[in-house]
Amino acid sequence: MRILLAFFILSGTVFGQLTWETRVIELGATPKDDVVEGTFRFKNSGSYPVTILKTETSCGCTSAKLEKKHYAPGESGELVERYKVGWSRGLHQTGLTLVTDDASAPKTLLGMKIMIEKSAELTPEVLWWKTGDSPSTQEATIKIVRSTPMNLISAETSTPGWAVKLVPVTLGWEYRVRITPLDLAPDRSAALVVVKPEASPSNPLSLRIRARVK
């Protein structure tokens, strides 16, 4: 697990009794991170106690943890939101609703913006052939763009009538996937080619290339 630096967007925000340092946290993550955390700090700036009744997350990939539920006037606390990175890549936004017994602000919406770097670039993601043409081989290029190499071990499709070959250009850094239809008859089915890396927590589950006939 990796706890990352938060960049606070809003400061001193007051919602009912509770004063928040921020309601939105921006984080960066890499494919090596299994979980990222954002810490929301708050203070009961009112004149009466506040009880946090529950937290509601926007998806099963997030969870929330509180030190406790009851906060007296002047007391501070922290709420930690955890996001499971899994195979996610690119920008992901989470939503977290805090429900309290404060009638002036019973619900507060919090969230994280997480930019997860890509492991690889695939160009192109879709290959096209024209019905009736002579079968020809086309290539897709995979370049590893993270700071550590990633070994690709297979490229295959479960769709009959397509030949697929994985060709290393530079082991761990660049590969080509050669795809050839056996024919281009009007009823030729599209194919999904799945490229798999070595099994590792830091590697994505697979890369996918689509082969289509139009």
Q: What is the pLDDT of residues 3-58, one digit of tens each?
A: 443 433 343 444 568 999 999 999 988 766 778 899 999 999 989 999 999 999 98
CB proximity list for 145: less than 8 A, separation 6 or greater: 117, 118, 119, 120, 121
C-alpha–C-alpha distance, residues 160 and 163, integer Å: 9
Domain 120-213 belongs to what architecture? Sandwich (2.60)
- Percentage of residues of the chain with pLDDT beyond 70: 87
C-alpha–C-alpha distance, residues 179 and 11, integer Å: 53
Check whether domain 7-116 has CATH 2.60.40.10, yes or no: yes
Q: Where are the domains of the chain?
A: 7-116, 120-213
Return phi, psi of residue 36, to 5°.
-120, 150
- Does the pTM exceed 0.85? no
